[in-house]
Structure 1
Amino acid sequence: MKWLSDDASSILGKIKKLASVNIQRNLIGTGLVAFGILADKKNQDIWIKYLKELNLKKAEMMKSGELTTKQKSAWIDWKEVVKLRKMVARRVNLTKVYDRPFNKRDFLVLQRLLILSLLTMLPGVARLDYATIRIISKKDFEKLPDQTAENYLVTGRQYKIIFQKYKTSATYGIVNIPVAKYSRPLQRLLQRHVRYLHENFPENDCLFLNRNLTCMSRNSLTKFLQRLFKEFFKKSVSVTMLRHIFLTNKYDKKQLEEQAETSKFMMHSQAMMKDYVKKRP
């Protein structure tokens, strides 16, 4: 990797010419790892300084709400994602896929329905961490010596999804989602899907399986979703993009900015301001 230190200035110049801030940040991050290994503090400091500039630029872009060129090319309306889920659900119900003997083509359709349902029927939980979920009964979950080892779908009378192994878990801790509270149809779908998995893969405890019928990884789920959206929308839509689409559909950016400004003048946090808002008499 010594070539990187030797040509660091030239390489940085080429990175700066790239149109995408995100690609620049990714490349700078990779370079910084290499400089750390090489103990090249001089170039490391130069690249860190530019990374800080990129981070400021990224923050301004996020604040403005403007879509990047790449985001514009991947944008779809949230209602189209919901419409796709309903279309796949009709196919599953009309052809009674859950009641047929297992075949890979049917299983692809069932997994598509499940991930689309999880993405659109729960409150904004667009996460690749669905790939890491393990299925476990409430009885077995309560017997675990360490209940924080995995992300779980806890089955029983009331299904629960428990996220505790995810990127920002140190900040937000355990996220416990009682499925029926948000969507009874989703709970019924999960019950059918778990039963189907137990019948066809009795040794499996993963909620999602890849093409060779082993546990799906986060990377596998990324590719699974990309193929799905490419097929129906001719666009490459990431989970991060889905978060942008969901939140843009649900909230008005101008209103959120006004809330932030109001809370500042009232010298309250936005959380405290919410407590001051009452139901109208």
Structure 2
Amino acid sequence: MKVRKAIIPAAGLGTRFLPFSKAVPKEMLPVLDKPAIQYIVEEAVASGIEDIIIVTGKNKRSIEDHFDKNAELELYLQSTGKLDKLKLIKDVTNIANIYYVRQKEALGLGDAILTARSFIGNEPFAVLLGDMIMDDSQPSTKQLINVYQKQKAPVIAVEQVDRSEIGNYGIVLGQQMDDRLYRVHTLVEKPQTEISSNMAIMGRYILEPRIFEILSNTKPGLGKEIQLTDALQTLAREQSLYAYLHEGKLYDVGNKLGYLKVSIEWCLKDKEIRGPFYTYLKELLAEKE
């Protein structure tokens, strides 16, 4: 079946960005001139996704407001002749069919995905984490959809990370099938002991409805949360599950260093401010030497 629906979990508490995230969702952190979550929605649309459900929580209303129509602002931009900016906000409003569901308690990523069960129905679907944004390569989600259509089995995106970073990710171990494709046999969420793999799960998945049944029977794991990684381990024992070493790079804007990295790189790619910003960075570095 065609992958036409996506879940974007965006209900996390964002504790790494306190006190900012006390009232403002971390998914609304600006990366150049867009909130992080807009890049994720744009990736889903560019991958052929038609319907998106965003899983939110308390104090996440600004996400809904961002993708909603703002008649007063549109009227102001129209009357003042700022038609380029008017087009920008209309494009955001019309970007996709976006729906919302609230995760009532912060019980983990697995539980967040489970709240969207009725929206997905009996179809394969994509999951794009709300704090991971893609560079200018072919969308990671599209790459996974291509693999799914060929393998007829769930697939997750992975990247090779420095071994010092392994404890920050879910890690995959598997049998290599070709240059980029692996048949998964073991998944470990944020391993705290030595492990023979450095392939980290990077927040993009193509899954099937069977995962909902598994999640509903998965006990809380690391952090006393329902971990998607634990459910995927159960799935891997039942059927084929693949990991794909995707092309391009995903940036974790859910932590301070990742957010700073992507902000700087996006500024250096922007034609309007790249030159002045690069000059500023050189002058700043010269002052610090």
TM-score normalised over the length of structure 2: 0.27
Greater percentage in strand: 2
Q: Which has the larger radius of gyration?
A: 1
* More relative contact order, 1 or 2 (CA 8 Å, 6+ apart): 2
